Amino acid sequence: MSDLLTVFKQKAEDLASAIDRKGGIRATLESLRRQMAEADQRRAIAKVRAELKRLQKQIEEMVTAVGVQAVGLHEAGRLSAPELQPLCEHIVQLKAAVAQQEAELAKLEAVTASTDTTGTRLCAACGKPLPEDATFCPYCGAAAPKVAEKRFCTSCGAELRADAKFCAKCGQAVKDAG
């Protein structure tokens, strides 16, 4: 049995030295070590980047919170930092513009919702079709949206948009444009 072990040991050493002569095991081990070190470095970089991103997000959230507090104080008339006054005033103006745009959007959506895809007017309250001349819904009694009267160019006869000041076809000024 010890002869078999000795032969096996000798064969293993011969194989290892044959591979080693070609630079196999040492080169492979060095390559693996280098790749592992590079992978460790990439993981460390990714970890630091993730932490930086987390910290930057916290800073952004805190700056936002400070801004919200400053605007709240400005709106309450209790902001004492004069350098923040113009910024807060601008934010108040932007809020007013947002409210105005939201109201305009609601009106546009109501008009769109009051007409189905076939051009039939629909009741904004119950969604049922309205007769052409209806001022109130015959189903629920809600006021029907007003139908804009069509306007035409006095020069060329083309249909005009409701808010047109000039004819899109001939360029003529609309006579009743306000």
pLDDT, tens digit (0-9, with 9 covering 90-100), for 154-166: 888 888 887 788 8
Give residue 133's pLDDT: 82
Q: Please give the model's pTM, rounded to 2 decimal places.
A: 0.39
- Amino acid occupying residue 28: T
DSSP 82-93: GGGHHHHHHHHH
Query: What are the domain boundaries of the chain?
Result: 2-80
| 168 CB-near residues (< 8 Å, 6+ apart) | 158, 160, 161
Q: HSE, CB side, 13 Å, CA atoms: give it for residue 138.
A: 7
Query: How many degrees, rounded to 5, is the angle at CA 38 between CA 33 and CA 42?
Result: 145
| 19 CB-near residues (< 8 Å, 6+ apart) | 25
pLDDT at residue 140 above 50?
A: yes
Give me the residues paired with residue 115 across strands: 121
Give residue 178's pLDDT: 47
Asked which of 87-96, 112-121, 125-134, 146-155 is least confident by mean pLDDT, the reply is 112-121
